[in-house]
Amino acid sequence: MRKIAVLGPVLLAACSTAPAEPPVHGVTPGHVCKVEGTAWFVGQRGTGEAGAAILKASKAAVLRWAPPGVMLTMDYRQDRVTVYLDRNRKITQIRCG
């Protein structure tokens, strides 16, 4: 019984502490999208290999494909790169967010 009386407050205190920094939607530590250096992908086919190369070149953590006619969310994510495609899956534009 004594163990429960001593251990109880310790367990309750551990549950009540808040994290040092709450997670922020759209932020992946170490990843901020930059479109500089991605222009040469425009005109290429939108393939998995191209997507991986765009992620690396843009320093983004998240890749979003945007084919024609597809609705996209308007939320801004500094760690996301959006690749716009035409009907033939050719890359037409690359933007961050």
Domains of the chain, earliest start first: 25-96 (3.30.10.10)
Q: Which of 9, 35, 28, 14 minimizes the C-alpha distance to 77?
A: 28
Helix (H, G, I), strand (E, B) or coil at 62: strand
Low-confidence ranges of the chain (pLDDT < 50): 16
What pLDDT score was predicted for residue 8? 56
Instruction: Determine the Cα–Cα distance for residues 26 and 74; give it in Å rounded to an integer.
Output: 12
What pLDDT score was predicted for residue 54? 97
What pLDDT score was predicted for residue 93? 97
**Quick one: residue 47, left, alpha or beta (phi over 0 = left, psi -120 to 50 = alpha)?**
beta
What pLDDT score was predicted for residue 74? 86
What pLDDT score was predicted for residue 48? 95
What pLDDT score was predicted for residue 41? 97
